[in-house]
Chain A
Amino acid sequence: MALSLEHLDTITSAVNAKEKAFEKIVRVCCGTGCITSGANRVFESLVKAVDSGGLASRILVKKTGCHGLCERGPIVMLGKDEILYQSVGKRDVAADVDLLLKTVTEGKIADALLFKVAGKKEKFVSPLDIPFYKGQKRIVLSMNGVINPEEIDDYIAHGGYRAPFRAFQMSPEEIIDSVTKSGLRGRGGGGFLTGKKWRSARAARGSLKYVLANGDEGDPGAFMDRSLMEGNPHAIIEGMIIGGYAIGSKQGYIYVRDEYPLAVSRLSKAIDQARSYGMLGQNVFGSGFDFDVEIYRGGGAFVCGESTALMSSLEGKSGEPRDKYVHTVEQGLWDKPTNLNNVETWANVPHIVNNGLGWYTSIGTKQSKGTKIFSLVGKVNNTGLIEVPMGITLREIIFELGGGIRGKRQFKAVQTGGPSGGCIPAQYLDMQVDFDSLTSIGSMMGSGGMIVMDERNCMVDVARYFLRFLTEESCGKCTPCREGTRRMYEIVDRICKGEGKIEDLLHLEELGKALQWGAICGLGQSAPNPVLSTIRYFSDEYKAHIIEGRCPAGVCKEITTFSIVEEKCTGCMRCSAECPMGAIVGEKKEPQKIDDLRCITCGICYDVCPFDAIKIG
């Protein structure tokens, strides 16, 4: 059965009429984050309570994708942006479900479940007032948290699947032209002009072509793609239909990380539903154009996020990249012309087709149009998923949306771009975030991980962390990456242990250059960035490790000890209660002592002490 535009409108009216009949729609976030915090139990208890309370005709309980404020999960939203409840069921599921019902039946807002900024009294009712949401511009994520990702009708009712109809009225060249002029750039990190890639793929010789969606989000500290695939899978499929038509491809593949089981299951459901509605398969929407999509599960290899490695993995081989003197748009998957875009890029496409060029180009900066999704994590107060217009400053993201640094600590750096990016120091906080400015200071946009660090994070340790990651994940095909990352790891590891030499820094820079010049793939070429950027901006910290043999942040275990300053210690026992090793001894109200033999230098005592009585030595 192929649906027509009228059918879509009928479905929309039916869904709207059904939802209007309810007094209130209650949306329970069931993204991976909230599920971890117990969202499934909240959902089930709520459904049960609604049924047994005879409220089934008044309250509609809906499962949705990620709302973004993952740390405060489970998130429950009442009405359209009316009331946001956070940490629902964290203490007592039954009691909180009761509060939820009372909000609807008695109009009583539950104070205990409202969002408040850490350390402040003010409470927020509507998410639109919460700084975390206020500063966002949600386009790609507009339906995340609103629709049930497992119901295609809900997606259609919110404007879904209209874009292919518009696209089929245009010639493929017109679509490519419009995507090019929109300035949409690859959201996976490279920032290549999407329309230009499509044009090359369309122009490439051969009748069999492929379009691929990259959902192999391997950057540690990033979960934008996961939340999108889980929360709004149809947007990706819709984008791929348009791309397939424009490029002249009949087959698409979505490559998803093995670590994302929920994304795989929701995407699979979405594909089945789209097929049953004739949106995938032969004669899509009765247009005469055939197109289908299949899911392919990855195997837990970071390198498979690289285009040629991903294609090799799709062919059933190990995921090793190859040289790109022949571009994948000419010879990619099974040596056929192949167009690969990140899932977020695909999800942008329907919006551009629906709303037009003028609208899209009005968002963002001159060279970077539209919005970008970031996962804002680390030492900020509000961690989670945000979508912001390009050109917003780092300061706005971290201090307004993110609510600033946690506790009494200071901002030290923000890491973007994962193992291909770098650490950005405070002096660049007012810089606009876009593809080119981040690259100009030695980092990169990457897929959108944004990890905030404070003074308790050691930048040398961060460099070592990424190098360890890279030595594990380097596929081993080319020598500069296989050996280079390993040698760099050994050097930085030595520095962390207090055994470094000052000439190590020069050596690291030299090795870094060798990788930039000599590695085969983009991941190898960018692998030195975490080291080079930390040497560039935090050389003092390297020198403290090398010359003074100390780690100022108190992270590098071999050269760190914690001790208690007797004059400051009140004997409150906070630290001894938290110490996982029972290494802190002493009488109540007397100064405590740390038993060095049992201490594992985890630093928890330092972090919990209210009197600054713990010293890093």
Chain B
Amino acid sequence: MEVDKNKLDEIILKYARDKAHLLAIFQDVQKEYRYLPKEAVKHICMRLGMPQVDGFEVATFYKSLSLKPRGKHTIHVCLGTACHLKGGADVLLSFVRELNVKTGETTADGEFTLESVNCLGACALAPLVRVDDKDFGKTSLTKVRNIISEFTDHH
């Protein structure tokens, strides 16, 4: 994949070419492309004067970074303790069935990436689902279809 190197350099400069901000740089790049392209990691490592292996170590260590392209919308099904006790795993399975993807994968039409997350911190509203920036509280198996359609109908 082609990455816009000028854009990358802009982000790197924003963090004053400081290696300590590698994670933040990656997060900003991911915001741009919805994932972290390998070419971007290589370019950033070159600019920061660090071995690629160190860059990829960070890129693969943190769960919020993805080297694989993501869908237009990311669905995070919370599996924190409170959500687990209130049926979060069944809600996740329901998304798996409805979207016909495995957890961690993207639908064939590139619309949705399905992920589980180990707690979003809105436990009083368990089970919780976050789609992009929007949270849905007290979800249930029957609400899964509505959540999906909220993000498909208008696009």
Q: Which A residues have a C-beta under 8 Å from some C-beta of B?
A: 32-33, 35-37, 70-71, 73, 217-223, 226, 257-261, 296-302, 313-319, 375, 377-379, 383-385, 415, 418, 449, 451, 453, 457, 462, 465-466, 469, 472-473, 475, 578, 580, 600, 602, 604
Chain B residue with Cβ nearest A66: B124
- Asked if residues B135 and A319 are in contact (CB atoms below 8 Å), the reply is no
A316 and B17 CA atoms in complex are apart in Å by: 12
Chain A residue with Cβ nearest B143: A580
From B62, B63, B121, B140, contact of A260 by CB (8 A): B121
From A32, A37, A73, A377, contact of B82 by CB (8 A): A377
With contacts A316-B22, A457-B85 known, is A223 near B121, CB below 8 A?
Answer: yes
Q: Does B120 contact A (CB under 8 A)?
A: yes
- Closest Cβ of chain B to A459, distance in Å, is 11
CB neighbours (8 Å) of A466 from chain B are 81
With contacts A217-B121, A600-B90 known, is A300 near B64, CB below 8 A?
Answer: yes
- Asked if residues B65 and A299 are in contact (CB atoms below 8 Å), the reply is yes
- Asked if residues A71 and B124 are in contact (CB atoms below 8 Å), the reply is yes
From A37, A220, A457, contact of B119 by CB (8 A): A220
Q: How many residues of B contact A (CB 8 A)?
A: 45
A318 and B18 CA atoms in complex are apart in Å by: 15
- Closest Cβ of chain B to A607, distance in Å, is 9
Chain B residue with Cβ nearest A295: B24
Q: Which B residues have a C-beta under 8 Å from some C-beta of A?
A: 18-24, 27, 54, 57-58, 61-65, 79-82, 84-87, 90, 93-94, 117-126, 128, 133, 135-137, 140-142
From B20, B63, B85, contact of A314 by CB (8 A): B20
A375 and B83 CA atoms in complex are apart in Å by: 14
Known: A36-B125, A220-B80, A257-B121. 9 other contacts (CB 8 A): A32-B121, A71-B125, A299-B27, A316-B18, A318-B58, A318-B61, A379-B85, A383-B124, A580-B142
Residue picked from B19, B58, B136, most chain A C-beta under 10 Å? B58
What 7 pairs across the A-B complex have the smallest Cβ distances?
A299-B62, A580-B141, A221-B81, A70-B124, A220-B80, A318-B61, A300-B64
- Closest Cβ of chain A to B94, distance in Å, is 7
A378 and B22 CA atoms in complex are apart in Å by: 38
- Asked if residues B61 and A604 are in contact (CB atoms below 8 Å), the reply is no
- Closest Cβ of chain A to B45, distance in Å, is 12
With contacts A220-B81, A465-B81 known, is A375 near B23, CB below 8 A?
Answer: no
Residue picked from A219, A220, A465, most chain B C-beta under 10 Å? A220
- Asked if residues A375 and B90 are in contact (CB atoms below 8 Å), the reply is no
- Asked if residues B24 and A297 are in contact (CB atoms below 8 Å), the reply is yes
- Closest Cβ of chain A to B85, distance in Å, is 6
- Asked if residues A377 and B119 are in contact (CB atoms below 8 Å), the reply is no
CB neighbours (8 Å) of B61 from chain A are 299, 301, 318-319, 475
CB neighbours (8 Å) of B64 from chain A are 258, 298-300
How many contacts between A and B, using CB within 8 angstroms?
148
- Asked if residues A220 and B137 are in contact (CB atoms below 8 Å), the reply is no
A378 and B120 CA atoms in complex are apart in Å by: 15
- Asked if residues A70 and B125 are in contact (CB atoms below 8 Å), the reply is yes
Chain B residue with Cβ nearest A607: B87
- Asked if residues B125 and A465 are in contact (CB atoms below 8 Å), the reply is no
- Asked if residues B124 and A377 are in contact (CB atoms below 8 Å), the reply is yes
From B90, B120, B126, B137, contact of A377 by CB (8 A): B126
- Asked if residues B119 and A33 are in contact (CB atoms below 8 Å), the reply is no
CB neighbours (8 Å) of A258 from chain B are 27, 62, 64
CB neighbours (8 Å) of A297 from chain B are 23-24, 27
With contacts A297-B24, A375-B124 known, is A36 near B137, CB below 8 A?
Answer: yes
- Closest Cβ of chain A to B79, distance in Å, is 8
Chain B residue with Cβ nearest A601: B90
- Asked if residues B135 and A35 are in contact (CB atoms below 8 Å), the reply is yes
A259 and B61 CA atoms in complex are apart in Å by: 16
With contacts A316-B19, A449-B81 known, is A221 near B62, CB below 8 A?
Answer: no
A379 and B123 CA atoms in complex are apart in Å by: 11
> Can you give 24 contacting A-B residue pairs, CB < 8 Å?
A32-B121, A36-B122, A36-B128, A70-B124, A217-B121, A258-B27, A258-B64, A259-B117, A261-B133, A297-B27, A298-B64, A299-B23, A316-B18, A317-B22, A318-B57, A319-B61, A377-B82, A377-B126, A383-B124, A385-B124, A418-B81, A451-B85, A465-B81, A469-B79
- Closest Cβ of chain A to B52, distance in Å, is 14
CB neighbours (8 Å) of A469 from chain B are 79, 118
A260 and B122 CA atoms in complex are apart in Å by: 10
CB neighbours (8 Å) of A223 from chain B are 121-124
- Closest Cβ of chain A to B113, distance in Å, is 14
- Asked if residues A453 and B85 are in contact (CB atoms below 8 Å), the reply is yes
CB neighbours (8 Å) of B62 from chain A are 258, 298-301, 318-319
A451 and B85 CA atoms in complex are apart in Å by: 9
CB neighbours (8 Å) of B65 from chain A are 299
CB neighbours (8 Å) of A73 from chain B are 125
CB neighbours (8 Å) of B84 from chain A are 220, 465
- Closest Cβ of chain B to A485, distance in Å, is 14
- Asked if residues B81 and A33 are in contact (CB atoms below 8 Å), the reply is no
- Closest Cβ of chain A to B90, distance in Å, is 5
A385 and B65 CA atoms in complex are apart in Å by: 30
- Closest Cβ of chain A to B12, distance in Å, is 13
- Closest Cβ of chain B to A112, distance in Å, is 20
- Asked if residues A259 and B136 are in contact (CB atoms below 8 Å), the reply is no
- Closest Cβ of chain A to B36, distance in Å, is 11
From A36, A465, A578, contact of B136 by CB (8 A): A36
CB neighbours (8 Å) of B117 from chain A are 259, 300
- Asked if residues A602 and B90 are in contact (CB atoms below 8 Å), the reply is yes
Residue picked from B61, B86, B93, most chain A C-beta under 10 Å? B61
CB neighbours (8 Å) of B118 from chain A are 218, 220, 302, 469, 472-473
